[in-house]
Amino acid sequence: MANAEKVALITGANKGLGFEMARQLGQAGVRVLLAARDPQKGQAAAAKLRSEGLDVQFLKLDVTDKRDHAAASAFLEERFGRLDILINNAGMAAEAFGSGKVSTTTEDAIRRTFDTNFFAPVLLTQALLPLLKKSGAGRIVNMSSILASQTLHADPKSPIYDVKSFSYDASKTALNSFTIHLAHELKDTKIKVNSAHPGWVKTDMGGDAAPLEIPEGAKTGVQLALLGDDGPTGGFFHLGKPLPW
């Protein structure tokens, strides 16, 4: 399937990595639905990309609202009859990175973080899976983080060993588990499901100290969204290299 025929939906795409992935997929010829919960910001972001000559339109989608999931599914069914690419990008962190001790993490922080980073992508994917199955080569990309790696968190020699934010890390680890389980369920189909670590990127969440610019951080998600038929599924990657679970 040529990229020009593909339809992609990216959550949390009015800024940061989501916006840049929308740009890069648009530049590759993909028709992009830029999803965001704030209509004003989402419409402005989509208009910016259209001014660059890209096929991008705004879709109102609060990932924590199941009514929006249903509305998105109905819109896609009526307008395109399928979905080729789903990038579960919307995410949040309730604590500063490295400061989320288990003993002091509040129930509210855990629930809010899991609602956005885990339950939302699971439930949205479930709602859109029938449309992805109508694609000739569906791709699901879950935007995770190296901070989800249990292997690296348990290794005293790891660079992330002392960078622990309990609610965020645990939510992304759960998201990785979702990737593994869904990829297994879909192993006999043409749908590929993978987790992406974008790197430490200069976004609102990553901060100005991050070493990577946003265009570089967007590359992994875009690569996984455009995988060929011989590409991997059920993996965890950064710029084409596998990461330990």
pLDDT digits (tens, 9 = 90+) for 166-217: 999 999 999 999 999 999 999 999 999 999 999 766 566 666 666 568 888 9
Percent of the chain with pLDDT over 70: 92
Which residues constitute the domain of residue 79? 3-242
More confident call, 15 vs 97: 15
**Confidence class for position 95, pLDDT limits 50, 70, 90:** confident
pLDDT the model gives residue 215: 83
pLDDT the model gives residue 1: 47
123-141 CB burial, b ≥16 within 10 A, e <16: bbbebbbebbeebebbbbb
User: Is 168 in the active site?
Assistant: yes
Distance CA 150, CA 128 (A): 29
Q: What's the token pair of residue 110?
A: 């855990």
Model pTM score: 0.95
Distance CA 72, CA 33 (A): 10
The pLDDT of 218-223, averaged and rounded, is 96
Residue pair 48/58 in contact (Cβ under 8 Å)? The answer is no
pLDDT the model gives residue 142: 98
Return the C-alpha torsion angle 64, 66, 68, 70, nearest 10: 150
Residue of 97, 166, 168, 178 with catalytic role: 168
CATH of the domain at 196: 3.40.50.720
| Structural domains of the chain, count | 1
The pLDDT of 40-63, averaged and rounded, is 98
Percent helix, strand and coil across the chain, each to the nearest 5: 45, 15, 40
162-187 CB burial, b ≥16 within 10 A, e <16: ebbbbbbbbbbbbbbebbbebbeebe
Residue pair 131/83 in contact (Cβ under 8 Å)? The answer is yes
